[in-house]
Amino acid sequence: MEGEARVKLSQQIIEVGWRLVKSELTDGTSGNISARCGDGTSVLMTPTGQDYRTLTERDLVQVEIESGRATGRWKPTSEWRLHVAIYQARPDINAVIHHHSTWASAVAVARKTIPVLLDEAADIGPIPTATYAPSASPELAEVVLRELGSCGNAVLLANHGVVVVGRHLAEAMRRALEVERLAKIYIGAEILGGAHPLEDADVSRNRAFFETYRAGTPDGEVATDLPPLVDQAGARG
């Protein structure tokens, strides 16, 4: 992957890293981000041990989906197996974000499933917690794939964190934020006496509505929009 396409994808990954930090979903070097390259045979991902706030385009690593062969100045994120496994299993997915946000991680430690509690949450669906597996292990990729299935959008990692997927980085980032919001609502509802999930029929109805509504969005214009996190002076906020 060369030229303008790589530059654009690199900039989007770096932007998502800044958004994760700015939104307090992660800090420092924790978590990882990847996106499928235009050639469909490789992904661009964050390196291991690099702070999101100082990340540059040259720091990103390109990894072949089938072989796992990495090209770049640094090693890929330690969770590269997880990312590659998702792209292998889900051709509909073009972006993966793994983070360690506080509230979602709390639910993951409790090993609970966040049910569909709000109309708009039907887009993500239930958010299960995968069986515990060590970080960066092949077993972790296996348990995450088991919970994601063919149409899942988010999975909690027992005693670890969160994985969200999307058709592009903007969608994955929106879902990363939404999972943390839903985790807060779920915990709050449980404290107040217990959460009352939507019925399956209502979830299906809401999902159909949002899919129909979303279908009218030009995929190359609004749906993938990820405006830079810069202020009027050109400095990141």
CA angle 47, 27, 73 (to 5 degrees): 15
Residue 100: the pLDDT is: 96
pLDDT tens, position by position, 187-211: 999 999 999 999 999 999 999 998 8
| Assigned domain for 49 exists | yes
Which residues fall within 8 angstroms of residue 26, CB to CB, at 6 or more apart?
A: 20, 52, 99, 100, 101
Residue 79 a catalytic site member: yes
| Assigned domain for 120 exists | yes
CATH number of 73's domain: 3.40.225.10
| Assigned domain for 230 exists | no
d(CA 28, CA 14): 13
- pLDDT tier for residue 217 given thresholds of 50, 70 and 90: low
| Assigned domain for 222 exists | no
Using DSSP bridges, classify how beta strands 42-45 and 61-64 pair: parallel, antiparallel or unpaired.
antiparallel
Residue 213: the pLDDT is: 78
Is the pLDDT at 17 greater than 60? The verdict is yes
Is the pLDDT at 231 greater than 50? The verdict is no
d(CA 168, CA 38): 12
| Assigned domain for 198 exists | yes
Which range, 35-39, 103-107, 213-217, 222-226, is most confident?
103-107
pLDDT tens, position by position, 114-136: 999 999 999 999 999 999 999 99
pTM listed for this prediction: 0.89
CA distances from 48 to 95, 119, 143, 154 (A): 18, 37, 22, 22
Residue 86: the pLDDT is: 98
- Domain total for the chain? 1
Is the pLDDT at 84 greater than 70? The verdict is yes
pLDDT tens, position by position, 141-193: 999 999 999 999 999 999 999 999 999 999 999 999 999 999 999 999 999 99
| Assigned domain for 83 exists | yes
**Considering 79, 171, 178, 180, which one is annotated as catalytic?**
79
Among residues of the chain, what percentage have pLDDT more than 70? 89
| Assigned domain for 46 exists | yes
Residue 4: the pLDDT is: 86
Residue 166: the pLDDT is: 97
Span 77-94, average pLDDT: 97
d(CA 103, CA 109): 10
| Assigned domain for 223 exists | no
- pLDDT tier for residue 234 given thresholds of 50, 70 and 90: very low
Range of the domain at 192: 3-215
Residue with tokens 């994808």: 9
